[in-house]
Amino acid sequence: MKKLFFIFSISCLTYAAAFSQDDVYYTGDAGTPAIKATITVAPPEIPVYTQPPCPYDGYMWTPGYWAWGIGGYYWVPGVWINPPMRGYLWTPGYWGYAGGYYGWHGGYWGEHIGFYGGVNYGYGYGGSGFYGGRWEGGSFMYNTAVVNVNTAVVHNTYQTSVGVSNTATSHASFNGQGGVTAQPNAQEAAVANEKHVQPTAEQQAHVQAASQDKSQYASANHGKPATTAMNSTNGQHYSPSGVANKSAAAGSNSSHLTPANTNSNSGKSAASEPRSSESKASAPKHQNSGAKANGQPHNTAPHNSAPRAASKPSGGGGGGHGGRK
């Protein structure tokens, strides 16, 4: 019996290691309720959707993804987020498949873009690195060839199509057999050992709110959620075509994908005011401008080039691909 238990323990450790990027295996991002489950069904494909305009200077795009809840997979809308501190970039999480099971690698903030499974999330996250912007002189500069910004609000912009591909090759939402088979390059592997900051309280509330909306579950929407993106965690909701859902307007009176206990708007960007990763990001001023119609997130091919190193606080935004036609 002891021998059998030992063999079982070793197999469990091997299974966990197969999914481990930071020696962590869980079905939710840090700070959100973890659900221990044996998942044998692949997540749906990443839906094609239009990115809403950035509502506030200093906010950064975090792409949507399929998370796992008690009711199965549900879509967490892509959203513009107040970063935890200057010079930090967001590395999205991703699903991995190994040994017949699917496991989630949580996203994180850091000075450089790490490995996110080769998944083509679009809008700068084409499979490797990031081309949607970069830090310069303590301010985040947005690449308008890749991401959608409201230039009446955001003035730190540039435009370059260097490295941007207009040919989508995969909408797969996981890494492994049947999905994307990318492996981390040397720089991405090195980033795994750097200091990371877990998702902010604002991001955690965003995930929690999505998990409580039954219409976001694949079992209800068949992999085609009605709300694919938001301009802020407590802001306007957008359909895949970029149409704002006015019935789900921002504010405390909205019950659709709106966290119950969200701080009031402060009008201050965390990108210009470093704050603790433990604190909750302030909500931006709501903008009801429409999303850019020609911004599709999945028109970039995953790329294995090394991400460009980002210095703190004024380095480049890292390598990757844009998500715009």
Task: Map out the domains of the chain as residue ranges.
Answer: 2-248
DSSP output for 123-188: TTBSSSS--SEEEETTEEEEETTTS-B-TTT---EE---TT----------EESTTSB-----HHH
pLDDT of residue 282: 35
Q: DSSP 3-state assignment of 201? A: helix
pLDDT of residue 161: 84
Give the global pTM. Answer: 0.70
What dihedral angle (degrees, nearest 10) is formed by the CA atoms of 126, 282, 109, 317?
Answer: 50
Tokens of 50: 């239009």
Q: How far apart are the first and last CA of the chain?
A: 60
Tokens of 157: 């912009």
Separation between Cα atoms, residue 199 and residue 196, nearest integer Å: 10
pLDDT of residue 79: 98
Q: DSSP 3-state assignment of 317? A: coil
pLDDT tens digit at each of 325 positions of the chain: 444 333 323 333 333 334 433 333 344 555 555 556 789 999 999 999 999 999 999 999 999 999 999 999 999 999 999 999 999 999 999 999 999 999 999 999 999 999 999 999 999 999 999 999 999 989 999 999 999 998 888 999 999 987 665 445 689 999 999 999 999 999 999 999 999 999 999 999 999 999 999 999 999 999 999 999 999 998 999 999 999 986 444 333 333 343 333 333 333 344 434 333 333 333 333 333 344 433 333 333 333 333 333 333 333 334 333 333 3
pLDDT of residue 262: 34
Contacts of 149 (CB under 8 A, 6+ apart): 53, 54, 142, 157
Using alpha carbons, list the distances in angstroms from residue 221 to 48, 75, 217: 14, 10, 6
pLDDT of residue 77: 98
Strands 65-69 and 89-91: unpaired
Burial class (CB in 10 A: 0-12, 13-18, 19+), 125: buried
pLDDT of residue 264: 32
Separation between Cα atoms, residue 293 and residue 102, nearest integer Å: 34
Residue 323: other Cβ atoms inside 10 A? 31
Tokens of 68: 């796992």
